[in-house]
Amino acid sequence: MKKEYFVIGEIASDNWNKGIRITINVLAHLLNARGYPRQANRGLYSSVSAAYRAHIRSGQKGTADCIACAITNTKGRYCWQ
Listing DSSP states for 17-55 in one string gives HTT--EEHHHHHHHHHHTT----SSHHHHHHHHHHHHHH
Contact 61, 22 (CB under 8 A): no
What mean pLDDT comes out for the span 58-79?
89
Q: Compute the residue count for the chain.
A: 81
Q: Kindly report, residue by residue over 40-66, the tens digit of the pLDDT.
A: 667 888 899 999 999 999 999 999 999
Averaged pLDDT score across all residues of the chain: 89
Q: Is the pLDDT of residue 81 over 80?
A: no
% of the chain beyond a pLDDT of 90: 65
Does this model's pTM top 0.85? My answer is: yes
